[in-house]
Amino acid sequence: MVQRRQHEGRDLAERAAALGRRTVWLLVDEVLEASVVGSFSAPGIRWRRRLGAGTPAFGGLPSQVGRTALVTGATSGIGLEVAKGLAALGAHVHLVGRDPAKAAAAKAAVRAAGDPEAVVHLADLADPEAVRALADEVAAEAGVLDAMIHAAGNLLPTRTVGPGGTEATVAVHLLAPFLLTELLRPALAGAAPRPSGDRARVVLVTSGGLYTQAFDVRGLDLAPEDYRGALAYARAKRAQLVLTWALASALGPLGASAHAVHPGWVDTPGLRSGLPGFARLLGPWLRRPEEGAEGIVWVATAPEPARCSGRLWLDHRARPAHRLPWTWVPARRSSQARALLAWCAAQPGWSPGPGWSSPI
């Protein structure tokens, strides 16, 4: 009896300590989130990780042995670190990039990280025909996809038209994820159920820039005289979150989920070339690419995101869709999602196929 009481006492003490750690973590997290700079910067994730050690959000991730993942933008920066992180968990990884030399180096890095069979697909995601060919390759080689990570991105100082005739920022951030996900729906549908109950997961890597813009499909493809790289990027990132809502609704009947992840402010080649002034200003406050990738790998594999869909995450916690009141629009999320899918399908060359109709 005495031993039983001692055991119960230790159990209660451990629960109380865990609750205390969780409470402290949540309080610090709220302070960091309110500060914006503290939340998005390197100190944000480091404080969250330090205080959250031992909590479910920052515990070990389940093995991905036997699972297959597709990662776009996987030849550098965040995308490469995501691919390496998934490989380290045992996943078989398909990498997508444009540059053959970078792709070869990335394949070697991912193989060294844990997937000796990692494969590379070369595709320009601004070209709808290249996206279709990519979908055919992946479907033939992978058969089934357990995770699809849309990490490819660009931030261009001048308006650039891609091979398909569409402005490249819109094409890479929105149209390619829309078309690729739709074409690979059968591969996602074939994913086996996980112990957590969910099946495939689709993750879009977005940005804090979305918080500066309201959603309006009419303002996505900026005219040459109105084009500013940062503006086009921020609007595309806002629309990525709406696309996430659309995918969550469309993939729900398959048992699959869709999420968006904000990786924080990360020191990547894309940031240094696209926003050099911003990169110089923040300097040591920028996160390392592996820190930006950490939350993406977590959303793609951890049990908690399996219990929901259509969320925006930063550092292992769901975040609000809006921070500034003037970015909120009165239309329902479902209405915005349908409007975006219709807009994507109406862009020349980007319709999934004849007779395609919105899945939501």
Q: Could you please report the per-residue DSSP string of 290-341? A: HHHHHHHHHHHH-SGGGG--S-EEETTEEE-S-SSGGG--SS-HHHHHHHHH
The pLDDT confidence band at residue 161, using thresholds 50, 70 and 90, is: very high
**How far is 313 from 114, CA to CA, in rounded Å?**
26
The pLDDT confidence band at residue 91, using thresholds 50, 70 and 90, is: very high
pLDDT at 198: 86
Residue 18 in this model has a pLDDT that exceeds 80: no
Mean pLDDT of 225-239: 96
Residue 7 in this model has a pLDDT that exceeds 60: no
What distances in angstroms separate CA 95 from CA 86, 111, 122, one per listed residue?
11, 11, 8
pLDDT in tens, 28-86: 889 889 899 899 999 999 999 988 876 778 888 999 999 999 999 999 999 999 999 99
- Residue 195's φ and ψ, nearest 5 degrees, are -55, -30
Residue 56 has which token pair? 């479910």
**How far is 299 from 303, CA to CA, in rounded Å?**
8
pLDDT in tens, 170-182: 999 999 999 999 9
Residues serving a catalytic function are 233
Most confident of 41-45, 175-179, 194-198, 266-270: 175-179
**How far is 14 from 11, CA to CA, in rounded Å?**
5
Residue written as tokens 């469309």?
250
Per the rule left: phi > 0, alpha: psi between -120 and 50, beta: everything else, 228 is beta
CB atoms under 10 Å from CB of 214, counted, come to 14
pLDDT at 347: 96
Give every strand in the sheet of 68-72, ordered side by side.
119-122, 92-97, 68-72, 147-150, 201-205, 257-261, 312-314, 317-319
Q: Do the strands 68-72 and 92-97 form a parallel or antiparallel pair, or are they unpaired?
A: parallel
pLDDT in tens, 300-338: 999 999 999 999 999 999 999 999 999 998 889 999 999
**How far is 264 from 266, CA to CA, in rounded Å?**
6
CB atoms under 10 Å from CB of 212, counted, come to 17
**How far is 172 from 163, CA to CA, in rounded Å?**
11
Q: Do the strands 257-261 and 312-314 form a parallel or antiparallel pair, or are they unpaired?
A: parallel
The pLDDT confidence band at residue 19, using thresholds 50, 70 and 90, is: low
Residue 97 in this model has a pLDDT that exceeds 80: yes
pTM recorded for the entire structure: 0.92
pLDDT at 4: 54
pLDDT at 55: 73
Can you give the C-alpha Rg of the chain in angstroms?
21
Alpha-helix residue ranges (DSSP H) falling in 94-224: 100-113, 128-142, 168-170, 176-183, 185-189
DSSP state of 167: B
Amino acid symbol at 320: P
The pLDDT confidence band at residue 298, using thresholds 50, 70 and 90, is: very high
Q: Report domain extents, the chain.
A: 62-346
Closest by CA position to 210, among listed 279, 288, 313, 131: 313
User: Helix axis angle, 176-183 relative to 229-251, nearest 10°?
Assistant: 20
Residue 2 in this model has a pLDDT that exceeds 70: no
- The CATH classification number of 62-346 equals 3.40.50.720
Q: Which helix (H) or strand (E) holds 10?
A: helix 2-35
